[in-house]
Amino acid sequence: MNNGITIIARTLQTTANRFMIGDFQVVNGCQTSHVLFDNKSFLEGVRVPVRLISTQDEGVITAIIRATNRQTEVKGEQFFALTDFAKNLERFFQAFPTGRQLYYERRSRQYDSQAIEKTRIVVHASLVRAFGAMFLGEAHRTTRDFSALVAKVGREMFVDGDRLEPYYTAAFALYKLEYQFRNQRLDSKYKPARFALLYAARLLANPSPLPPRNSREMERYCAQIDSILWESNKADDLFASAAQVIEDVAGGKLDTDNVRTQPFTEAVEKRCREIMQSKNPD
């Protein structure tokens, strides 16, 4: 009384009644597969329907997964994990040298069996929040209105053709900020405003107008911010300056009702512009 097993393979070779598949995934029937395997010694004459589909078309893959998982709740990020963009992002994060590497978790708990520093693992939701705050200027949507931010995935962020650098920059900035909190280099009172802090950090580190996300200028824009984040002393100074912006704007009111609002985000941007203008009056 189940929907059987559905397997999608990117390559398929057949010889008589034998199948050689490559780069495959069980997209429906994982529980069935595990139960059958765990009880293989007790099974005799059991037949289970199996669908074996070979395609490299991401649209077809996503449509099949949706169609075969109608009886269960499958979250949007699980579908996003199958896209080439997500796979490229995973490889891009790991390509940086030791000390600057991050690990984008495309699939839930995919790094559990590896000896990787847990703080360097970036879950999808955290990346959406960090990128949305830093590069969309929507720090206020990272918690209460998070669904509105998620709705921008595939439209205003994580779009095919986007440079991958800003996603890494946002993820590394969040990593460094959490490091500041863990090591008490930054007062924990600023935690409710962590994503506003990231926005302020970006505006202070590189006050130039944001270039198009698919341009080479975006790569250079992010490189300037990365060069600061990669050096501990410079990163300390940057976050200290960002925290002072939050302090100035909050006026002592660092509660979530104040710091997680759109007017607060707009005030942070205005204050950063004022600071950078005073440093470079021309």
pLDDT tens-digit series, residues 173-202 = 999 999 999 999 999 999 999 999 999 999
- Do 62 and 113 fall into the same domain? no
- Do 152 and 275 fall into the same domain? yes
- Do 88 and 68 fall into the same domain? no
The tokens describing 29, both together, are 């029937």
- Do 118 and 136 fall into the same domain? yes
**Residues spanned by the domain of 61:** 5-74
Higher pLDDT, 211 or 111: 211
- Do 121 and 236 fall into the same domain? yes
Would you say 66 and 73 are in contact if contact means Cβ atoms under 8 Å apart?
Answer: no
- Do 42 and 166 fall into the same domain? no
Residue 79, pLDDT score:
63
Element (H, E) at 11: strand 5-15
Q: How far apart are CA 218 and CA 166, in angstroms?
A: 7
Residue 144, pLDDT score:
81
Distance of alpha carbon 212 from the chain centroid: 19
Reply yes or no on whether the pLDDT at 16 is more than 60: yes
Residue among 100, 102, 157, 105 at smallest CA distance from 133: 157
User: Which is it for strands 5-15 and 50-54: parallel, antiparallel or unpaired?
Assistant: parallel
Total count of domains within the chain: 2
Proportion of the chain in helix, strand, coil states, percent, rounded to 5: 55, 10, 35
Pick from 74, 95, 112: which residue ends a domain? 74
- Do 112 and 212 fall into the same domain? yes
Pick from 27, 46, 74: which residue ends a domain? 74
Q: How far apart are CA 275 and CA 281, in angstroms?
A: 10
- Do 120 and 158 fall into the same domain? yes
pLDDT band at 69 (very low <50, low <70, confident <90, very high): low
**Mean residue pLDDT across the chain:** 89
Q: Give, rounded to a whole angstrom, the gap between the first and last alpha carbons of the chain.
A: 73
> Tokens 């984008």 belong to which residue?
104
Q: What is the pTM of this model?
A: 0.77
> Tokens 């009111």 belong to which residue?
253
Reply yes or no on whether the pLDDT at 254 is more than 60: yes
Helix axes 262-279, 194-205, angle to 10 degrees: 30
Residue 76, pLDDT score:
54
